[in-house]
């Protein structure tokens, strides 16, 4: 045969060398075809398995562009992912962890660039009130996005993967807040619509890509040839997630290293209105707390009504508010979105940003009234934060569980519509959730929760365990007098991938038999996840529930436990707050 060169081994065995080469070449082609068929196959909870030889060949010899291409298949935007990562020289020798770090880095670069663009817009022509408010929210949110992304990037190889997912979920929400704040401006400047908004949206896609990669690391492990989009969220797929989450990433840590114990709850400082404390203002006490403290700093707030707006900045970590009791220590305000140039995000009486925040026995109020539209009592962006025996009192949008992992134990939350909302991973345990009467008649609808998950990769949602869903005495009295005057619902989808779950909760007659309310037509009905497990009471009319909600088994409900959903066993013991895993 022309061009056929003898091969030493072939000659020894009496076999022409060219045939050996051809056979080896055919074997390589077969291996590649098997590999490509697994990548291009329809989605499976896990990709098709290859035999050990071909699997090793595929993972060991993939070129950098191929590694990027395979990794990007796990994201919502594979084409953008491929073109963006492959053009960066750092992807040339990247493994799965390094590729994820690179994706996060690109998100940091994008958010920083967006922040510069907002500053330039603010420094240009004077902005109207609405545009200025949107720009302020955007600029603040981008600052949080950059710092949270940086933390995730620097911690990727040393922190539990659940932490990375939580931080990336928060970073994506911050970037979305910027986009949403600018999108809702009534009369936007031309450069905002033409340049800045598309730019912010592009960064949002990059952060989503990085989040998807972090999720893939958690779900599939470090071998990118196994990566694929996560299963759609349905009860049967939760079973798959529970069975296949990669245990190598479940790194145990000493919870008290990251969240030191409260000890004997001896106050570091005291706040008293009558001048008998260290400070007469809560904000003064917060401002003088240690910066980025690593030990709990206890601010004891004596009884009284504190009419002040409080901001626990992100550098004020490990702060605890301790009180004389929830009916004794009251922090109140009345800012609302009905004021010119004010958006919901800016209305909170108390804003908590510093991680590791704890409140015990505090009443948080926003008493702007139901005629004043959205008016937040507390906005929480504190990761690993906990509230015990607290009262949250308001009307529309009372409690803004915005980002981070949060725990609420034995709390009372009152409001009218969407009064528990946001995109945190929050668990409410043994809480009283109460509808209250609207001051302005005409709208009979009352809704407990509006969850704002914008991306299927976000590890967020609102979970209610052993809670009581009922109403104030005034509401119940009017309900009894006119049963058709009010319609109460468990939740409605504020955003596309909204996720709300009720576990072993008592639902009073104030809840309509259908249980859940659509937001607008069929928006999000095919992508949300609403579930119940073990509901009881006159409002638990399970056969009448809307078709787009789910009834969960005990095993499936376990996915939303304190331990699994917010990793509570790692940090709650050090808060001295009782809890059930």
| pLDDT tens-digit series, residues 195-239 | 999 999 999 999 999 999 999 999 999 999 999 998 766 665 565
What percent of the chain lies above the pLDDT cut of 70?
83
Residue 484 has pLDDT above 90, yes or no: no
What digits encode the pLDDT tens for the residues 252-288? 444 455 444 545 678 999 999 999 999 999 999 999 9
The answer to whether 81 and 203 have CB atoms below 8 angstroms apart is no
Fold of 335-575: Pectate Lyase C-like (2.160.20)
What digits encode the pLDDT tens for the residues 129-152? 999 999 999 999 999 999 999 999
d(CA 108, CA 189): 26
Residue 486 has pLDDT above 70, yes or no: yes
Mean pLDDT, rounded, for 554-572: 96
φ, ψ of residue 506 to 5 degrees: the values are -95, 125
- Report the candidate in 114, 181, 112 with the shortest Cα–Cα distance to residue 153: 112
The tokens for 455 are 């991306």
The answer to whether 531 and 555 have CB atoms below 8 angstroms apart is no
What digits encode the pLDDT tens for the residues 387-412? 999 999 999 999 999 999 999 999 99
pLDDT of residue 482: 86
Owner of token pair 């929830």:
326
Residue 30 has pLDDT above 80, yes or no: no
d(CA 168, CA 211): 6
Q: Which residue has better confidence, 103 or 53?
A: 103
Mean pLDDT, rounded, for 240-251: 44
pTM for this structure? 0.86
Q: Where are the domains of the chain?
A: 8-58, 67-249, 335-575
- Report the candidate in 100, 16, 50, 96 with the shortest Cα–Cα distance to residue 457: 100
The answer to whether 173 and 402 have CB atoms below 8 angstroms apart is yes
Q: Which residue has better confidence, 438 or 356?
A: 356
pLDDT of residue 201: 98
What digits encode the pLDDT tens for the residues 294-342? 899 999 999 999 999 999 999 999 999 999 888 999 999 999 999 999 9
**Among the ranges given (154-163, 180-189, 226-235, 515-524), the one the predictor scored with the smallest mean pLDDT:** 226-235
**Among the ranges given (98-102, 232-236, 483-487), the one the predictor scored with the smallest mean pLDDT:** 232-236
pLDDT class of 23 with cuts at 50, 70, 90:
very low
Beta bridge partners of 85: none
Q: Which residue has better confidence, 465 or 47?
A: 465
Q: Is 268 a catalytic residue?
A: no
198 CB neighbour count, 10 Å cutoff: 9
Q: Decide: residue 73, CB within 10 A, 0-12 exposed, 13-18 middle, 19+ buried.
A: buried
pLDDT of residue 94: 75
Residue 48 has pLDDT above 50, yes or no: no
d(CA 348, CA 473): 26
- Report the candidate in 475, 504, 502 with the shortest Cα–Cα distance to residue 491: 502
The tokens for 196 are 């800045």
The answer to whether 329 and 299 have CB atoms below 8 angstroms apart is no
Mean pLDDT, rounded, for 359-376: 91
Q: Which of 177, 268, 418, 508 is catalytic?
A: 418
CATH assignment of 67-249, among 1.20.140.40, 1.20.1560.10, 3.60.15.10, 3.30.365.10: 1.20.140.40
φ, ψ of residue 109 to 5 degrees: the values are -60, -45
Owner of token pair 């994706």:
103
Residue 4 has pLDDT above 90, yes or no: no
pLDDT class of 15 with cuts at 50, 70, 90:
very low
Mean pLDDT, rounded, for 551-572: 96
d(CA 351, CA 364): 11
Owner of token pair 């998100």:
107
pLDDT of residue 236: 56
Owner of token pair 């139901």:
370
Q: Decide: residue 487, CB within 10 A, 0-12 exposed, 13-18 middle, 19+ buried.
A: middle
Residue 381 has pLDDT above 90, yes or no: yes
């Amino acid at each position: 045969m022309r061009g056929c060169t003898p091969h030493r081994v072939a000659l020894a065995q009496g076999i022409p060398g060219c045939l050996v080469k051809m056979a080896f070449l055919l074997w390589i082609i077969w291996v590649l075809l098997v590999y490509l068929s697994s990548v291009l196959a329809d989605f499976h909870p896990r990709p098709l398995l290859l035999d050990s030889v071909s699997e090793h060949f595929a993972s060991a010899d993939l070129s950098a562009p191929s590694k990027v291409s395979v990794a990007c298949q796990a994201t919502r935007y594979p084409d953008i992912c491929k073109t963006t990562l492959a053009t960066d020289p750092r992807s040339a020798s990247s493994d799965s962890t390094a590729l994820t770090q690179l994706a996060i880095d690109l998100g940091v670069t994008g958010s920083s660039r967006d922040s510069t663009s907002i500053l330039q817009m603010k420094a240009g022509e004077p902005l109207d009130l609405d545009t200025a408010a949107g720009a302020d929210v955007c600029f603040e949110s981008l600052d949080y996005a950059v710092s949270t992304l940086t933390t995730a990037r620097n911690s990727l190889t040393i922190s539990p993967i659940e932490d990375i997912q939580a931080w990336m979920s928060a970073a994506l929400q911050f970037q979305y807040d910027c986009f949403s704040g600018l999108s809702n401006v009534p009369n936007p400047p031309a450069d905002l619509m033409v340049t800045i908004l598309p730019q912010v949206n592009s960064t949002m896609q990059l952060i989503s890509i990085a989040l998807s990669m972090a999720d893939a690391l958690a779900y599939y492990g470090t071998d990118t040839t196994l990566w694929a989009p996560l299963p759609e969220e349905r009860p049967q797929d939760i079973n798959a997630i529970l069975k296949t989450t990669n245990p190598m990433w479940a790194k145990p840590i000493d919870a008290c290293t990251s969240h030191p114990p409260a000890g004997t709850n001896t106050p570091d400082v005291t706040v008293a209105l009558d001048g008998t404390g260290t400070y007469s203002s809560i904000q003064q006490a917060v401002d003088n707390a240690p910066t980025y403290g690593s030990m709990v700093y206890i601010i004891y707030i004596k009884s009284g009504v504190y009419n002040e707006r409080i901001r626990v900045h992100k550098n004020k970590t490990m702060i605890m508010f301790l009180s004389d009791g929830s009916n004794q220590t009251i922090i109140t305000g009345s800012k609302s979105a009905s004021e010119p140039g004010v958006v919901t995000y800016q209305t909170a009486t108390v804003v908590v940003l510093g991680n590791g925040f704890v409140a015990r026995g505090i009443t948080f109020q926003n008493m702007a009234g139901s005629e004043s539209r959205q008016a937040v009592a507390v906005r929480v962006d504190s990761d690993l934060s906990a509230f015990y025996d607290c009262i949250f009192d308001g009307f529309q949008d009372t409690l803004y569980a915005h980002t981070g992992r949060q725990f609420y134990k034995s709390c009372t939350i009152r409001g009218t519509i969407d009064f528990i909302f946001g995109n945190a991973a929050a668990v409410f345990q043994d809480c009283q959730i109460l509808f209250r009467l609207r001051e302005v008649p005409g709208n009979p609808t009352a809704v407990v929760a509006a969850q704002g998950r914008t991306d299927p990769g976000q590890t967020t949602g609102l979970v209610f365990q052993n809670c009581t869903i009922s109403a104030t005495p005034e509401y119940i009295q009017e309900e009894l007098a006119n049963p058709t005057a009010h319609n109460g619902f468990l939740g409605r989808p504020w955003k596309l991938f909204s996720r709300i779950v009720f576990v072993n909760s008592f639902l009073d007659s104030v809840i309509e038999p259908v249980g859940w309310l659509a937001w607008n037509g069929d928006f999000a009905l095919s992508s949300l996840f609403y579930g119940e497990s073990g509901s009881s009471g006159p409002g638990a009319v399970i056969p009448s529930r809307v078709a787009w909600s789910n009834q969960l088994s005990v095993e499936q409900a376990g996915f939303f436990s304190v331990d699994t959903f917010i990793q509570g066993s790692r940090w709650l013991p050090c808060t001295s707050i009782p809890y059930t895993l």
